[in-house]
Amino acid sequence: MLPREFYARATLTVAEELIGKVLVHRTASGTASGMIVETEAYIGEDDPACHAACGPTRRNAPLYGAPGVAYVYLNYGIHYLVNAVTEEEGRPAAVLIRALEPIDNVPLMIRRRGSTTDVDLHRLCRGPGNLTRALGITLEENALDLTDSRLRIEDRGLVAGRVSWGPRIGIRVAVKRRWRCSVVGNRSVSHRITRA
């Protein structure tokens, strides 16, 4: 399990080093996990795309708290998105986890995704809304300590491959910042550039 010091660093550093780590969620119905292959950084009140852009609110409170804590919220009324809080208390910043390569308990994840999904491993945890559904992450997991709870991130010594940086996806502001980090050529990455 990654220690708090791992998260208490510059957010771009954490975003890159989270690649290849393993997000694990233990529930009553089983433990599911996947290797992180795509992340995005959201850094401070000066970042217009960060949820802290308008200052502290009830929803974004975890962003202002200790590093190594999960920030989960509901997006578009449908999808839960999970972040790892970074830097230090009082400095709102986090890394959004956007895609995983499935590892533990694929059958459970397929069940959670629903029968509409065919057994395509690369689509199972592709996209921030899809991976939370596969792992069973909801608002109940908001503010859980990633260093000491049923929701955690582990270093299993996996090698994900080379990474590249590009613009963040799905936002309408601060599009110029290239704060999205992903594994080159990994088929579980969302919004991959088709064609080489």
Partner DNA sequence: CGTTCGATGCACT
Partner DNA sequence: GTGCATCGAACGT
Chain positions contacting DNA, by CB under 7 A: 40, 42, 49-51, 54-55, 57-60, 63, 71, 74-79, 81, 83, 94, 96, 113, 116-117, 123, 126-130, 168-172, 190, 194
Amino acid 77 reads G
Q: Do 97 and 23 form a contact (C-beta atoms < 8 A)? A: yes
Minimum distance, C-beta of residue 42 to DNA, in the bound complex (Å): 4
Minimum distance, C-beta of residue 32 to DNA, in the bound complex (Å): 16
Nearer to DNA, 13 or 156 (CB): 13
Nearer to DNA, 127 or 136 (CB): 127
Nearer to DNA, 94 or 160 (CB): 94
**DSSP bridge pairs for 145:** 69
Q: How many CA atoms does the CB half-sphere of 2 hold within 13 Å?
A: 30
Nearer to DNA, 60 or 186 (CB): 60
- CA nearest 97: which of 20, 193, 196, 155? 20
Minimum distance, C-beta of residue 58 to DNA, in the bound complex (Å): 3
- CA nearest 96: which of 5, 33, 190? 190
Minimum distance, C-beta of residue 169 to DNA, in the bound complex (Å): 5
Q: Is 172 exposed, middle or buried (0-12, 13-18, 19+ CB in 10 A)?
A: exposed
